[in-house]
Chain A
Amino acid sequence: MRIKEYLAGMKAGMPVCVGYFSVSFGFGAMAVAQGLSVWNTVLISATNLTSAGQFAGLTVIAAGAAIIEMILTQLVINSRYALMSLALGQRLGPEVGVGKRLIAAFFNTDEVFALAMARQKLSVSFLVGAGTVAALGWTGGTALGALAGSVLPLSVRMALGVMLYGMFIAIVVPQAREEKPMLLSMLLALVFSCLFAWVPVLSGVSAGITVVICTVAAAAICALVFPVEQEGAQ
């Protein structure tokens, strides 16, 4: 672990830390509102470090659904990390050993990945440095949100519960605006999701499985209609 690289990573990760803090505040408030204890809520953020996955996991827990549903939702929702980890692995090169790779893997979030890939000469120390501050922001924000969740008035808590949705909107809409295939992906998921919400028989399907089906169906159709050429080829 090189200290200089680690510190450079921490510095680069500061904006991510601030962003995570505010969004995870919403997650904390929401989880407590759904009946989780403050400690359990913080534990989820500290061990998972992922927004969409935790959010879906919360739905599964709140519904008291089967464990297999938890595994399925996490696999599908977090499958994008598999792609990012692949790209990261290529980028780090064969000289980086398994031990370091196992540590780097934990911190591979969308934003840390973006920072890492933008780094001229990427080291595991840099990635872990950025990842540490990001994780601190994420876990700290969750803790504060969970604690405040029981103190803040219901009207404020309810408003904060929309924060994660707001973040998802902020990620999806600009992409859909720029790329037609992304717009199709969004619209398909939107239509499928509405079907599962409002069509009588389909609405009986649990929330976790609904997200899995909508995601797989929309992404598969887009992959057939608009296949992506070699991505991130260096």
Chain B
Amino acid sequence: MNIYLYIFVMAVTTYLVRALPLTLLKKPIRSRFVRSFLHYVPTACLTAMTFPAILYATDHVVSGAAGLAVGVLLAFKKQSLIIVAAASCAAVFITEQMIALL
């Protein structure tokens, strides 16, 4: 399928999600369920996208797991976004190098 069609649909959908509530809905959402649902979407979505996908993002499951472990540990210690992301990459790189040496 045409790559530009994908990109176009992706951009338009993303924009409409942002633009419609900002322009059309000026009243607050009443439904407590809908509000609560939207509150939990980011966490659920990011988690589902990260695991177990991160394990298969590299050549070896071990290095993906190392990246995950380092990331979770640093994030738990409330390190900044860049530190966590960079350390995860470094863990993957080092682990892959070690595997190559074995």
Contact = CB atoms under 8 A, between A and B. Distances in A.
A165 B67 contact: yes
Interface string A142-163: 0000000000000110111111
A224 to B, nearest CB: 7
Given A40-B7, A70-B9, A166-B88, A56 B49 contact: yes
Interface string B81-102: 1111111111011001100000
Contacts of B1: 64, 67
**Prevailing SS type, chain A contact patch:** helix
A67 B6 contact: yes
B84 A166 contact: yes
Interface string A78-122: 111111111011100010001001101110101000000000000
A170 B75 contact: yes
**Prevailing SS type, chain B contact patch:** helix
A50 B29 CA distance: 24
B81 A23 contact: yes
Contacts of A197: 52-53
A8 interface: no
B58 A188 contact: no
Contacts of A88: 22
A98 B23 contact: yes
Given A23-B85, A53-B10, A168 B22 contact: no
Contacts of A158: 57-59, 92-93, 96
Interface residues of B, number: 73
B80 A161 contact: no
Interface residues of A, number: 101
Contacts of B15: 105-106
A81 B16 CA distance: 10
Contacts of B38: 79-80, 82-83, 219
Given A166-B84, A169-B88, A186 B21 contact: no
Contacts of A173: 71-72, 75-76
11 contacts: A67-B5, A70-B9, A80-B42, A89-B22, A89-B23, A171-B46, A186-B43, A210-B48, A215-B45, A218-B48, A219-B41
Interface of B: 1, 3-7, 9-11, 13-15, 17-23, 25-26, 28-29, 32-33, 35-54, 57-59, 64, 67-68, 71-72, 74-76, 78-90, 92-93, 96-97
The 6 closest A-B pairs by CB, nearest first: A166-B88, A166-B85, A173-B75, A223-B36, A214-B48, A170-B84
